[in-house]
Amino acid sequence: MKLPSTVHRYCKYCHEHTEQEVILVKPGHRGTLTKGSRRKLWNIEHGYGSTPYPMFEHKKIKVKTTKRYDIRYRCKKCGKMTTQSRGKKAKKVEIK
């Protein structure tokens, strides 16, 4: 998926549509210990649900082919950054 480098988008701080720069935040830049990663570590060590044993065997199977990318927009007028609520799912994202 290719994204344009600038978009015309609503800015919630300026209360109007402005030119905004598209920024792609790489995975791993959001902090390491999120709620999901803590739960994953617990499941790997203790098992989960009907599989009350460590999940090392299940880790080898790769099911998901897409990742959720964190795309952010920086307003050129006020300089503030806004996020998308859930990001976008794609195999690969690049900015033109």
Binding site for Zn ion (CB under 5 A): 11, 13-14, 75, 77-78
| Nearer Cβ to Zn ion (43/82) | 82
Q: Indicate the residue type of 54.
A: P
Q: How far is the CB of 20 from Zn ion (least distance, A)?
A: 8
Measured at the alpha carbon of residue 62, what is the angle toward residues 32 and 1, in degrees to the nearest 5?
75
Q: Are 45 and 54 in contact (CB under 8 A)?
A: yes
Distance CA 72, CA 32 (A): 19
| Nearer Cβ to Zn ion (21/48) | 21
| Nearer Cβ to Zn ion (11/71) | 11
Q: How far is the CB of 88 from Zn ion (least distance, A)?
A: 21
